[in-house]
Amino acid sequence: MGHLFSFIGPAASSRGAESSRPSYRPLAPVAVKQSLKRHIPTLLLLLILSAAFLVRASGMWFGLPYAHHWDEPNVIHNVLRMMKTHDFHPHRFFHTSGYIYLQLPVALLHYLYLVNQGLLTSSEEIKTAWDTGWYWTISHPSFYVWARALTVILGTATVFLLYKIGSKIYSKKVGLLGALFLAFAFGHVEHSRPITGDVPVTFFDAFAVLAAVNLVLSGKRKWYVFAGLLAGYGVATKYNNLPVLFALLIAHLLNQNKKHIFDKSLLIGASCFIAGFLIGSPYSILDAKGFVENVSFHLDYFGQQHAPHLHPGFTAGALYYSRYIFHTGLGEFLALFACLGLILSLFKKRKPNFVLLVFPVIYFLFMSSQTYRNERFAIPLIPFLALFAAVGLHLLLQFIFSKLPKFQRVQNLAAVALALLVVFTPARRSIKDAWQIYHSKETRVRMTEWMKQNLPAGSQVAIIKELHWYLPHFKDANLSIISVGALEKPSHWYSETGVDYIVTSDKFGGYYSGATQMSKEFLLQYNIRLTTNSLVKQFGHNTLWLEHFSINPKVVILKAETLARTKVQEATELIKVQTEEKAPGGKAYSWKEYKFTLNETSEVYIKLSGKTEGRGVEVMGGVDDDLTLKLDQILIPWNSLYSLNGAIQKGKAKEVELTLANISPGEHTLILWADETPTLLSLEVTAFPLTAPEND
């Protein structure tokens, strides 16, 4: 069968049949057309790769300069920490280190670029979670852009690898179809932007399978080396991709050049697999104890049910991933053709077919058997399913036109039309998504632009820390910006400081523990102060989560002049403690208790000072010292702005301020909650009675 796009020009042989052509007529156009025909596959591949790159790259600025992804800090913050400290131990094996090490030279190159441009003078200017305590800290967004660019490149390179696999096993036509389908497969496009391991490990999977296919076709020993190294590094990028090793094993069994099953070639492949893994995860040997502990936790984590709607069992898992692939990962039409191609491939007794089949089949069975599921775990399947979709479409057309020989001349045209029809829906979705990301602005960015244009010059603006605002955006603004916690200062502080406006939110949420009564009481504190303030402008409508990043949270700017007033002159000192007492030790326990009485409704202002030690690199959780407060039913969360965290303080003294509003008259109990052995240095509690707000 001719090439997929051979209908573009008639065959050269038909022109040569014209014997009556004058001898002086030049033959160059024929040679040119023949040359073009030979290069059409290359030109089409370049076009597909360009489209694949553009649809991925145009969306890689999503969210910036704010974090919009759960897992990006697992990679980029570790990369930046390694670059700053020269400590290359990942310290956490739950998230594998393969992609961290790939990103390290990218970050270093970008750092040198920023230094050369005068935008950085020292790596200490770069702030990460270990500096701020906020897991989604972004101090220099350009590091994210460069890191995401690597994911985009690996995602695009996977499209090329799929073309090579399809060309090796079937034909260039099937390879081009598979590349086209993967170029616009929404699941792969969507995950080709964030700094996570899903698309990079898919790249290594595809590369390892290509090497295994070459091993079957050529039998050369060098492919054992390549397949082993690539598979090993892939597993170091994500542990759950261990089934890719079966591609090498099946290729070895099908290799006609092997002397026996357990020969030297297999030993080379196995050794290279181990070497590839150790290159991507060297501390699995250098810190074997930590590796075993973390991997054990990893296996246990995958065996747990993390959401009530995710039912355990293989059938539930298989349906979960099948639905994602059908509706999102590939799209309905591509998924149907993938099923057809997969079924037909089972009946093709070609050795490379078995190499192509073994990884996606075993990987699907393995992931479906796990209780913990996530849609991104299906990403390694998508390239292979895209290739099976190409096989299905190709074989279907072959069958149809074998029954309709009179229509053979339009077979290529039919192939093009059907391919475009099948890829239209995922392509439209992927392009639309990229367009929306490219042209969208985060609510905090929109509010920043509005403030620059509309607030009076010289205005003093308090921006609450819970919004995690990217303050460098105000560098060229004629505004005085103050960063302050929403619950940090008593009401009179704003008037005494001369604050004109407050930028905050009126839609706070507690993601992890918002359902408990103590957390509800804490969240209520965020809204009490806002009831008397006049709204100036607002953007967005999404929840501002206190415990993790927020996507386009609702942001409001209020006039500070109508903030509730307190009787500063009637302030009462309730508690004052100066000490250097160390807590006895334990896990999240009640350490000290203080009682006081209020005669009228008041704001209770608390200053807590202490020292907490850090015993690891964990920002959230771990075995570090922590110290927090509980007033009656209001529990201040661990790792909040108003508690002490050893992972951040690392043994240094720190003072936090907290103001709780509308505390009613009567007796109250303040409890210090400790984790491990923090040291209390001082505690001061002052009551400011409330008075009615002044009318304008």
pLDDT tens per residue across span 524-569:
888 777 665 688 999 999 999 988 899 999 999 999 876 667 777 7
Residue range 209-236, pLDDT digits in tens: 999 999 999 999 999 999 999 999 999 9
pLDDT at 696: 41
CA–chain centroid gap for 325, Å, is 19
Condensed to tens digits (0 to 9), the pLDDT of residues 307-366 reads: 667 778 899 999 999 999 999 999 999 999 999 999 988 887 678 899 999 999 999 999
In the chain, CATH 2.60.120 sits at: 568-691
Return the percentage of the chain with pLDDT > 70, whole number.
89
Mean pLDDT of 170-196: 96
Helix (H, G, I), strand (E, B) or coil at 23: coil
pLDDT computed for residue 14 by the predictor: 39
Q: What average pLDDT does this structure show over 3-12?
A: 34
Q: Output the DSSP codes for 430-468.
A: HHHHHHHHHH---HHHHHHHHHHHHSPTT-EEEEEGGG-
CB-count burial class (<10 Å; 0-12, 13-18, 19+) for 310: middle
- At 623-661, the pLDDT tens digits run 689 999 999 989 898 888 999 988 888 888 999 999 999
> Which among 166, 159, 177 has a CA at the least distance from the CA of 353?
166
Question: Confidence band (pLDDT; 50, 70, 90) for 1?
Answer: very low
pLDDT at residue 52 tops 80: yes
Contact in structure between 512 and 547 (CB atoms under 8 Å) = yes
Two tokens, residue 205: 């999977």
pTM equals 0.88
Question: In the predicted model, what is the mean pLDDT of residues 200-207?
Answer: 98
Q: Selecting from 1.20.1260, 3.30.70, 3.40.50, 2.60.120, what CATH number does the domain 568-691 have?
A: 2.60.120
CATH code 3.40.190 for 443-563: yes
For the segment 461-520, what is each residue's pLDDT rounded down to a tens digit? Answer: 999 999 999 999 999 899 999 999 999 999 889 888 999 999 999 888 876 654 565 678
Q: What is the pLDDT of residue 143?
A: 96
Average pLDDT value for the chain: 88
Using one digit for the tens of pLDDT, what is the confidence trace for 570-617?
A: 889 999 999 999 999 999 999 999 999 999 999 999 999 999 987 655
pLDDT of residue 19 exceeding 50, the answer is no
- HSE (side-chain half, CA atoms, 13 Å) at 241: 32
pLDDT score of 5 more than 50: no
SS3 category, 690? strand
Supply the pLDDT for residue 695: 45
Ranges in the chain annotated CATH 3.40.190? 443-563
Please identify which residue in the block is written with the tokens 């170029």.
183
> What distance in Å separates the CA atoms of residue 78 and residue 613, rounded to the nearest whole number?
21
